[in-house]
């Protein structure tokens, strides 16, 4: 068993609408999958760091889909880090809650026909959520992050991080991106996936 499957490959400066980040590239040696961390300011040490663990969502992050809240969450997290002056966005390449892009499109088709996001995955014989949030632990370790203020509505992320030995000093809500197209999706995330989305 590989104790640390995540290898740091390289880094560079990344100027964005939300300030200048240092972008670090990592590879999962088990799968060849590539992941990224966007870092602003000094993050190593015991002082809690504002952080978002964001799973890739091509449709929401890059194509501005209104079927989910992913794009607005990523933008809000980057803005929050900019305002704090320091923080880490861990961007995990786990499209469609880990089922992949094509399967995500298949699930979207079933949702168009009336299924919810959970029912669609199960109808395809896929897990409701196949993501591995523990990858972030190894990325935090490389960056020297010992404690985080986690930008999330997802209790599983909190539990996974704690199970992995990451100290969660605080959960910071990230309720953005609600629109008429995704009201049902957000309702199901709260109802079936226990996300903290209730007003």
Please write the tens of the pLDDT for every residue from 141-196: 999 999 999 999 888 778 878 888 888 999 998 888 678 876 776 666 666 665 65
User: 1 falls in which pLDDT band (50, 70, 90)?
Assistant: very low
Q: Which residues are catalytic?
A: 129, 131
In a domain, residue 47? The reply is yes
Q: Note down the domain range covering 71.
A: 6-94+131-192
Q: Which helix (H) or strand (E) holds 129?
A: none
152: which residues sit within 8 A by CB, 6+ positions away? Answer: 52, 53, 158, 171, 172, 174
In a domain, residue 145? The reply is yes
In a domain, residue 17? The reply is yes
In a domain, residue 13? The reply is yes
In a domain, residue 141? The reply is yes
CATH code for the domain in which residue 166 is found: 3.40.50.10990
Q: Structurally, how many domains does the chain consist of?
A: 1
In a domain, residue 99? The reply is no
At 69 the pLDDT is: 87
In a domain, residue 14? The reply is yes
* 154 vs 12, residue with greater confidence: 12
State the chain's mean pLDDT as an integer. 88
Q: Decide if pLDDT at 199 tops 60.
A: no
């Amino acid at each position: 068993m590989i104790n640390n499957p995540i290898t740091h490959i390289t880094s560079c400066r990344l100027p964005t609408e939300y300030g200048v980040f240092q972008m670090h590239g990592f590879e999962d040696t088990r799968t060849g999958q590539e992941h990224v961390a966007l870092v602003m300011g000094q993050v190593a040490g015991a002082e809690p760091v504002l952080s978002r663990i964001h799973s890739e969502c091509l449709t929401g992050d890059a194509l501005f889909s209104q079927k989910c809240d992913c794009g607005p969450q990523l933008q809000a997290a980057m803005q929050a880090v900019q305002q704090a002056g320091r923080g880490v966005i861990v961007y995990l390449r786990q499209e469609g809650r880990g089922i992949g892009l094509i399967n995500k499109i298949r699930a979207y088709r079933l949702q168009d026909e009336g299924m919810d996001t959970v029912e669609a995955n199960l109808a395809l014989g896929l897990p409701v959520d196949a993501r591995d949030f523990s990858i972030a632990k190894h990325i935090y370790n490389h960056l020297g992050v010992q404690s985080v203020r986690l930008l999330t509505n997802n209790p599983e992320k909190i539990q996974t991080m704690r199970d992995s030995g990451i100290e969660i000093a605080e959960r910071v809500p990230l309720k953005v991106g609600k629109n008429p197209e995704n009201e049902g999706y957000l309702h199901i995330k709260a109802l079936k996936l226990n996300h903290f989305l209730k007003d």
